[in-house]
């Protein structure tokens, strides 16, 4: 007789799936969000360093608005945070600084020439445009990567940002610009002075600045030259500062690093941008000082902004991100979902390759001396406080984050230059692009640690990277050697994962069904005990436990759902891997068939890292909390709701007994979560993730049907029967009493007929 449908399983299984999905979505949201910064009063001073510097540096004046056609841009340092000199004492007594040190101003009538090339498919991966203010980067544009799948706008991994002020003036935030230099305790601004450039372009990508005293005599010559190799995402910046005086000189260099990357949320109204660091270990953890470890705290960009604005703590390294066993800093970066901009020491490729082959024979000095201290610089856009960092919050994403690096104190002998060179990676957060095989510098400096598949928030601790990377390796194998399509590879991956977990799922569901059936059998007896001992709760509990023990029922049977929860790290790792995988960006599903039949005019499933856009509105009609901007009609989330509805109808058939009000409420909540809430939360999710959930839910329906068919032939009334031990030397034979398959019954019938004919 078929087993009765179990009410407990009908509720637990769908609710568990829905809760997992809801927790995952909330974890992404919480892990990338931060409390908005409080508004600062007008005229609030900029957030300065908490460590006293050798000399307090006054804030430079902001730039006055000028005619863009005449000058091309106006400039002012984004923040007046005073550089902090290293506490290292000078080896020799130094003379006092010459009075009135300043950077020599120049007049430039043309914009600096760019380097590289932005032609898709050309020899260069990047094109770099410059600004004369601080000899910084105006923009870094990628040749072969675009903002959208339509490929109409090339992606800028770094872009100069403007912060308008209430009085009509504006400030510029420029990455890799020289902020200034401290000479014998006196800070000299190298970004701008009265909106006038101080850098002279000597060649494409090469600049020079002169620091002079009050009388015009040269004191320090600073040179800066950018270079870019064909086919590479690495930018080399060779800098030097030469002492032009006849006396020793103490120098502290202050340099701007990465500016925040544009948000890339994939449809969600969340921000997954992060500030990342790579560092050596201390001498006790790694005596060779060659192993580079990426930080595991995954501090989001919003959290860094809140730290600077709310608490006034601008120090990022060494600071709250530093771990207990951290040694010198090696690299620092700002990342978003699919791209990164990281600065690191300048190391030649051959040196890095030798170091990878034998670190002991070819050790490298990997410490980033140019960034002995790292500060966060925040400037508010959209008006308000014009004072500088931490100017308050005028709305969502109204602050801009720039990283500032301060070097150790250097002592320059007369006529001696100091090497201030560094390099930067501006490219995708992809395993292929950051592999040591592409560039050995990536391996020597551990830049592949930038690639991490972790949602952060509540799910960070159980998103095991070895598991996510293993799943990605298998997904890539399926794509490259089996199905040759990412959408099909995702579907096959789900089939493989569910097949591997089927024994656990089957055992857990059978355990739940058995426990529910046993509890139904005990219900009348338990009711009598409740009535008999209603005035003695302690005695009633003892009798209940005694009854369950006599009937062979244990609460451990209710733990049948525990294996399903133990599978959560696998599903979370899958979720994170699919969300952050660069390989899915701008990849069409099913060999791009929908684009092929329409000549590329239909964007449906044209990008597995974005929503499917069955109908593209071309603009955002409305922006909803958690869902983000609604820019199109997405079909897959609606199909997911249909699959959940069918799954719910299958797992919750009409009850054979009347439900209590509590059970009816549970079923109503389950219907809302499964059929309405989850598809809504997945509405703007990447289509690769939605395709994964549709495939997983469809297989769940088929798997549950198979398990139920198996359970219908089982006796769930009593405890599970232990398997008889096998006697030594005796083979185990099949149980003849077990039901035979249709094929076996037909075979036996044919054999019987042949035997009757022979007689």
Helical residues (DSSP H) of 581-616, grouped into ranges: 593-596
What confidence category does residue 537 fall into, taking pLDDT thresholds of 50, 70 and 90?
Answer: confident
Torsion angle (degrees, nearest 10) of CA 752, 754, 755, 758: 160
Higher pLDDT, 650 or 149: 149
Higher pLDDT, 8 or 259: 259
Region 391-416: mean pLDDT is: 78
State the DSSP code for 647: H
| The predicted structure's pLDDT at residue 676 | 82
Q: How confident is the model over 440-478, as pLDDT tens digits? A: 999 999 999 999 998 877 777 778 889 999 999 999 999
| The predicted structure's pLDDT at residue 418 | 93
Torsion angle (degrees, nearest 10) of CA 262, 264, 269, 273: -70
CATH class of 33-80+108-455: mainly beta
Q: How far is CA 467 from CA 258, 280, 487, 624, in A?
A: 31, 25, 20, 33
Task: Report the DSSP beta bridge partners of residue 339.
Answer: 428
Highest-confidence segment of 110-124, 476-490, 608-622: 476-490
Is the peptide bond between 318 and the residue preceding it cis, with omega within 30 degrees of 0?
Answer: yes
Higher pLDDT, 662 or 449: 449
What confidence category does residue 20 fall into, taking pLDDT thresholds of 50, 70 and 90?
Answer: low
Q: Which helix (H) or strand (E) holds 139?
A: strand 136-146
| The predicted structure's pLDDT at residue 324 | 74
Q: Which helix (H) or strand (E) holds 378?
A: strand 373-380
- 3-state SS, one letter per residue, for 665-723: HHHHHHHHHHHHHHHHHCCCCCHHHHHHHHHHHHHHHHHHHHHHHHHCCCCCCCCCCCC
Its pTM stands at: 0.79
Residue 66 has pLDDT above 50, yes or no: no
What confidence category does residue 354 fall into, taking pLDDT thresholds of 50, 70 and 90?
Answer: very high
d(CA 512, CA 12): 9
Q: How confident is the model over 97-128, as pLDDT tens digits? A: 566 899 998 887 678 999 999 889 899 999 99
Q: How confident is the model over 151-189, as pLDDT tens digits? A: 889 999 999 887 665 556 566 789 999 999 999 989 999
- 3-state SS, one letter per residue, for 192-242: CECCECCCEEEECCEEEEEEECCCCCEEEEEEEEEEECCCCCEEEEEEEEE
d(CA 582, CA 453): 10
Higher pLDDT, 112 or 394: 112
| The predicted structure's pLDDT at residue 139 | 95
Strand order in the sheet with 126-131: 115-116, 126-131, 136-146, 154-159
What confidence category does residue 349 fall into, taking pLDDT thresholds of 50, 70 and 90?
Answer: very high
- Report which of 398, 472, 462 is spatially closest to residue 429, judged by C-alpha positions: 472
Residue 52 has pLDDT above 90, yes or no: no
Higher pLDDT, 34 or 271: 271
* Domain residue spans of the chain: 7-27+465-711, 33-80+108-455
Residue 423 has pLDDT above 90, yes or no: yes
């Amino acid at each position: 007789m078929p087993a009765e449908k179990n009410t407990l399983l009908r509720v637990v299984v769908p609710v568990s799936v829905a809760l997992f999905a809801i927790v995952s979505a909330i974890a992404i949201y919480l892990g990338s969000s931060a409390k908005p910064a409080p508004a600062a009063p007008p005229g609030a001073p900029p957030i300065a360093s908490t460590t006293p510097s050798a000399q307090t540096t006054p804030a430079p004046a902001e730039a006055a608005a000028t005619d863009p056609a005449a000058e091309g841009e106006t400039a002012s340092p984004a923040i007046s945070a005073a550089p902090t000199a290293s506490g290292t004492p000078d080896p020799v007594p130094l003379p006092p600084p010459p009075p009135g040190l300043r950077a020599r101003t120049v007049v430039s009538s043309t914009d600096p020439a760019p380097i590289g090339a932005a032609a898709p498919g050309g020899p260069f991966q990047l094109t770099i445009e410059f600004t004369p203010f601080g000899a910084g980067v105006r923009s870094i544009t990628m040749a072969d990567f675009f903002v959208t799948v339509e490929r109409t706008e090339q992606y800028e991994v770094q872009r100069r940002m403007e912060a308008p002020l209430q009085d009509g003036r504006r400030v510029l935030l420029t990455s890799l610009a020289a902020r200034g230099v401290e000479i014998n305790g006196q800070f000299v601004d190298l970004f701008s002075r009265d909106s006038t450039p101080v850098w002279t372009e000597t060649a494409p990508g090469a600049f020079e600045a002169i620091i002079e005293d009050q009388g015009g005599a040269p004191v320090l010559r600073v040179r800066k030259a950018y270079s870019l190799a064909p086919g590479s995402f690495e930018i080399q910046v060779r800098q030097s500062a030469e002492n032009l005086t006849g006396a020793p000189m103490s120098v502290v260099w202050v340099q701007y690093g990465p500016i925040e990357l544009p948000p890339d949320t994939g449809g969600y109204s969340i921000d997954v941008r992060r500030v990342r660091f790579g560092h050596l270990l201390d001498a006790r953890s790694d005596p060779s000082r060659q192993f580079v470890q990426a930080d595991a705290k995954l501090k989001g960009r919003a959290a860094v902004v809140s730290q600077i604005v709310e608490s006034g703590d601008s120090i990022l390294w060494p600071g709250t991100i530093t771990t207990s066993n951290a040694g010198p800093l090696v690299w620092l970066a700002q990342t978003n979902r699919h791209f990164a901009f990281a600065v690191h020491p300048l190391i030649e490729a051959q040196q890095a390759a030798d170091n990878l082959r034998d670190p002991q024979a070819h050790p490298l000095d990997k410490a980033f001396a140019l960034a002995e201290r790292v500060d966060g610089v925040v400037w508010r856009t959209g008006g308000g406080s014009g004072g500088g960092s931490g100017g308050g919050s005028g709305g969502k994403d109204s602050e801009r984050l720039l990283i500032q690096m301060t070097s150790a104190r250097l002592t320059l002998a007369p006529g001696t230059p100091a090497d201030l060179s560094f390099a930067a990676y501006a490219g995708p957060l992809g395993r292929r692009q950051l592999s040591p095989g592409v560039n050995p510098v990536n391996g020597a400096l551990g830049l592949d640690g930038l690639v991490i598949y972790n949602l952060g928030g509540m799910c960070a601790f159980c998103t095991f990277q070895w598991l996510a990377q293993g799943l990605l390796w298998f997904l890539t194998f399926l794509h490259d050697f089996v199905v040759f399509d990412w959408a099909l590879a995702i579907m096959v991956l789900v089939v493989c994962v569910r097949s591997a977990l089927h024994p656990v799922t089957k055992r857990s569901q059978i355990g739940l069904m058995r426990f529910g059936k046993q509890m139904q059998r005990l219900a009348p007896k338990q009711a009598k005990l409740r009535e008999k001992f209603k005035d003695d709760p302690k005695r009633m509990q003892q009798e209940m436990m005694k009854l369950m023990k006599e009937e062979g029922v244990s609460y451990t049977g209710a733990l049948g759902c525990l294996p399903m929860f133990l599978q959560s790290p696998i599903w979370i790792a899958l979720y994170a891997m699919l969300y952050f995988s660069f390989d899915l960006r701008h990849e069409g599903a099913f060999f791009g068939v929908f684009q092929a039949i329409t000549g590329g005019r239909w964007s449906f499933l044209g990008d597995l890292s974005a929503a499917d856009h069955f109908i593209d509105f071309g603009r955002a009609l409305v922006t909803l909390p958690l869902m983000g901007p609604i820019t199109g009609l997405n079909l897959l989330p609606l199909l997911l709701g249909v699959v959940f509805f069918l799954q719910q109808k299958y797992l919750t058939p009409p009850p054979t007994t009347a439900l209590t009000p509590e059970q009816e409420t549970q079923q109503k909540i389950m219907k809302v979560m499964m059929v309405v809430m989850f598809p809504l939360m997945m509405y703007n999710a990447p289509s690769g993730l939605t395709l994964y959930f549709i495939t997983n839910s469809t297989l769940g329906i088929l798997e549950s049907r198979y398990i139920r068919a198996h359970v219908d032939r089982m006796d769930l009334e009593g405890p599970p029967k232990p398997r008889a031990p096998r006697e030594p030397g005796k083979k185990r034979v099949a149980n003849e009493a077990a039901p035979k398959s249709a094929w076996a019954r037909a075979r036996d019938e044919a054999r019987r007929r042949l035997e009757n004919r022979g007689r």
